[in-house]
Amino acid sequence: MPLTALATAASVPSPRRRRSALLLVPALAATLAVPGHASAAPAGPPAPVPAPAPAPAPGKQAVATGYGGAVATVDRDASRTAIEVLKKGGNAMDAAVAAGATLGVTEPYVAALGGGGYMTYYDAERRKVHTVDGRETAPKTMREDSFVDPATGRAIPFDQAVTSGLSVGVPGTVAQWDTALRRFGTRDLGTLLKPAIRVAERGFVVDQEFHDQTATNEARFRDIVPTGQLFLPGGEPPAVGSTFRNPDLARTYRELARRGPGWMYHGALGREIVRTVRKPPVDPGATRNVRPGLMQDGDLGAFRSRTPEPTRASYRGLDVYGMPPSSSGGSTVGEALNILNNFRLDSKDPVKALHYYLEASKLAYADRGRYIGDPDKVDVPLKELLSKDFARERACLIKPGQAATAPVAPGSPDGDYAPCVPPGGTARALTYEGPQTTHLVVADRWGNVVAYNVTIEQFGGSGITVPGRGFLLNNELTDFTLQPPAPGSPADPNLPGPGKRPRSSMAPTIVLEDGRPRLALGTPGGSTIITTVLQILLNRIDLGMDLPAALAAPRATQRNTPQVFAEQAFIDRYGAALADRGHLLAPFPGPPAGVIGAATGLEFLRPGVVQAVAEPVRRGGGSALVVRPAE
C-alpha cells in the first residue's frame, strides 16, 4: 500500500542558489507502524519486526527526529560537521560535501581524496532528482588484459592486484565536489573544508572499528613507507581511546582550499599522485610484490565528473530514483522492484515476501552481470532493463513455493517480450567487489536531500599513501573483471579499458511521493549494497516497519549465487521456512564476517519533521543528528 501524502510545510525564502520549495511531508499510511511504536502482531507467522536493538556505540545516537535539517553518517564528527553547516545556513549539498571531507579524516580507509563516489540529489525548488558521478577512471593506457600475468595467461592474484599502483583509478572525489557545489551548493569548497581541517589537526578518538580496520591492514601498511608512518604510529595500530591526528591531511586540505580542484587535476598534487602510482613507496626490506601503475599526468587532466539522468522505478505508488551506470545500483534496484510489483506482499506473510525478494534479486543480478558497464564505453540497454514488460517477463519465472537453482541465466532486454520466456545466455559468476565504502544522507530546511556514497574500495584502498599528503589511494580498478572471457564467450561489459569506469554497486537512493521526498537511503557493502537497499525498502513499504526497524532488521543477500548469505539473526528467524522453499542459507562470510552493510537513511514524517536513522550496532553504529530535535 503506498505511503499517502498529507500536507505541506510553509515555504522559506531562499538566498542565491539555495533550493527552496513548499515541502510536502506525507503522513504514514494507516497500515504502517508509527515511528517509535511497535506494530500490532498479526495472526500467522510473526512479522519481521526486530527485537529492540542494542544501544548505539558510546557517544552516538542511531535515530534523531526534528526540524531544520537532518543527517545520518557512520561517524559522529562527520554528522556534527553537517549539522554545523546547516545551522550556518548552508544547504544539503554543502553539508554533504563538508561531511564527506570530514569522513576523509575519521574514516580514511573508506573515504579519501584518493577515491570517488556517487551522489543523488533532490532539488526542492525544481522538484527534480539529479545525480553526480565521481567514479574513478582507468588510465588511458589500460587494456583488457592489464591485470593478466603474461607468464600464466591468468589474472594476477587478487591480493596482489589490490595492493598495487595498477589498481589505482584516477581519483574523482574532488571533481565531484566541485561539480556538486557549482551546480547545487551555496558555499565554496574552501569554507566547507574548514571543519575537516580542525578534526585533522585536533584529532579524533580511536574507536574499536578504526583500530580493527588498521589491524586488518597492518602487514601491508608496514610494507608501504608513508602508510606505515601515518597509520601505525609507534609501529603499531593506534590504541582504542587514543587520539589520532593527521597534520599532513590538514595541510593538504588547506592547500586544496587555496588552490582549488585544478591543483589535483592540472597541478602539483596530481603530479605527486602520478609519481606515487607509478613508483609505489615500498619499504626496501619488504618482500611484497607491489606492481607499478599505468597512470600519467594527462589522465588526471582528462578526468570529468558526470551528471547523468537518474534511474527511476515506480513501486507501490512511490518513485524510486537511483544511480545509473557506471553504477549498477539504480538499475538493479529498479529492476528488482519492477519484478516485485507483480506480486502482492504484506506483513502477514513475511516468509513469502522474503522469498520473492530473494528471487527478484537473483534475476536482477543475472542481468546486472551480463549488461551493466560504463555507458561511455559499452552499450547498456538501460531503458529495457527498467521496463515493466521486461520485468513481467522475468517475474513469470518465479515460482511461489520453490527457489530457482542459482546462478540463473540473464534475460533478453530486447524490447520483444512475451509471458514466461526462458532466460537466454549464460550465467556469469559474481565478480568480487570490496564491501568497504560509506554512505551518508542529508536534508536541509528547504527540502533538498542528498544521498552520497564515497569510497576508496577495500578497507585501506590500495594501501598506498601519497607521501606527505595524509591520504590513501583507491584500488577501484579491481572492480573490473580482471580475467577476460574465453574466446567465443559472451562479451563482458566490465572489462578494463582506457578511460573506462569500473562497474559499481553503490546505490544512493531517493524515494519521492507525489514529487516530494519521502525517503533517502544507502549503504556500504560492495555488491551487497543493492540487496540491502532493496530489503530496507521491502521492510518499510511492504512489511509495515518504521524506518529504524527497517534499517536494523537482520539481512540476507542473494546475488545470483548458489547460496543465500545472511546474518545469523536472519537465519535463526527465517532459515527453516526459506529452506522449505529451496533456499540454501549460509552465514555471510564478510568482511566483516556476519555483518551486511552499514546503512543510513532519513524519512519525512509529517510537516516540518524529518527522522534521520543510522545503524544501531553494525560496524560500531552510526550517528544521526538533527538541527532542532523534536520534543
The pLDDT value given to residue 34? 26
Give the pLDDT confidence of 566-581 residue by residue, as tens digits: 999 999 999 999 999 9
Taking residue 268's Cβ as centre, other Cβ atoms within 10 Å add up to: 11
CA–CA distance, 616 with 620 (Å, rounded to integer): 8
> Three cell numbers at 593?
564476517
> pLDDT-derived band of residue 592, with 50, 70 and 90 as boundaries?
confident
pLDDT surpasses 50 at 372: yes
pLDDT surpasses 90 at 19: no
**Amino acid, res. 284:** P
Q: What is the mean pLDDT of the chain?
A: 90
> pLDDT-derived band of residue 57, with 50, 70 and 90 as boundaries?
low
Average pLDDT estimate for 376-392: 97
Average pLDDT estimate for 180-185: 98
Give the pLDDT confidence of 488-532 residue by residue, as tens digits: 888 899 999 999 999 999 999 999 999 999 999 999 998 999 999
The pLDDT value given to residue 37? 28
pLDDT surpasses 90 at 6: no
DSSP secondary structure code for residue 50 in this structure = P
The pLDDT value given to residue 46? 36
pLDDT surpasses 50 at 2: no
Strand partners for 504 = 327
Taking residue 172's Cβ as centre, other Cβ atoms within 10 Å add up to: 28
Give the number of residues written for the chain. 631
CA–CA distance, 502 with 493 (Å, rounded to integer): 9
The pLDDT value given to residue 13? 37
How many angstroms separate the first and last alpha carbons of the chain?
30
Active site residue 437: yes
Asked if residue 33 lies in contact with residue 50, where contact means CB atoms within 8 angstroms, the answer is no
The pLDDT value given to residue 619? 87
Where is pLDDT greater, at 28 or 241? 241
Asked whether the CA dihedral 52, 343, 605, 73 is positive or negative, the reply is positive
Average pLDDT estimate for 213-222: 95
Calculate the alpha carbon distances from 182 to 132, 188, 510 in Å: 11, 8, 21
> Three cell numbers at 464?
598506498
Helix intervals (H) in 133-242: 158-162, 173-184, 189-202, 208-223, 225-231
> pLDDT-derived band of residue 423, with 50, 70 and 90 as boundaries?
low
Q: Specify the residue for cell string 532459515.
A: 575
Catalytic residue among 252, 332, 437, 455: 437
Average pLDDT estimate for 359-388: 97
Percent of the chain at pLDDT above 90? 84
Calculate the alpha carbon distances from 336 to 8, 125, 315, 534 in Å: 31, 30, 10, 8
The pLDDT value given to residue 429? 58
> pLDDT-derived band of residue 29, with 50, 70 and 90 as boundaries?
very low
> pLDDT-derived band of residue 431, with 50, 70 and 90 as boundaries?
low
Helix intervals (H) in 314-439: 329-340, 350-371, 382-385, 388-395
Spatial neighbors of 383 by CB under 8 A, at least 6 apart, are: none
Give the pLDDT confidence of 82-125 residue by residue, as tens digits: 999 999 999 999 999 999 999 999 999 999 899 999 999 999 99
> pLDDT-derived band of residue 458, with 50, 70 and 90 as boundaries?
confident
pLDDT surpasses 60 at 459: yes
Spatial neighbors of 426 by CB under 8 A, at least 6 apart, are: 409, 489, 490
> Three cell numbers at 542?
511492504
Q: Specify the residue for cell string 524490447.
A: 415
The full 3-state SS of 525-569, as one line of letters, equals: CHHHHHHHHHHHHHHHHHCCCCHHHHHHCCCEECCCCCCEEECHH
Spatial neighbors of 198 by CB under 8 A, at least 6 apart, are: none
Highest-pLDDT range among 6-15, 28-37, 425-434, 622-631: 622-631
Helix (H) or strand (E) holding 318: strand 318-322
Computed on alpha carbons and rounded to an integer, the radius of gyration of the chain in Å comes to: 23
Average pLDDT estimate for 477-489: 93
Average pLDDT estimate for 364-387: 97
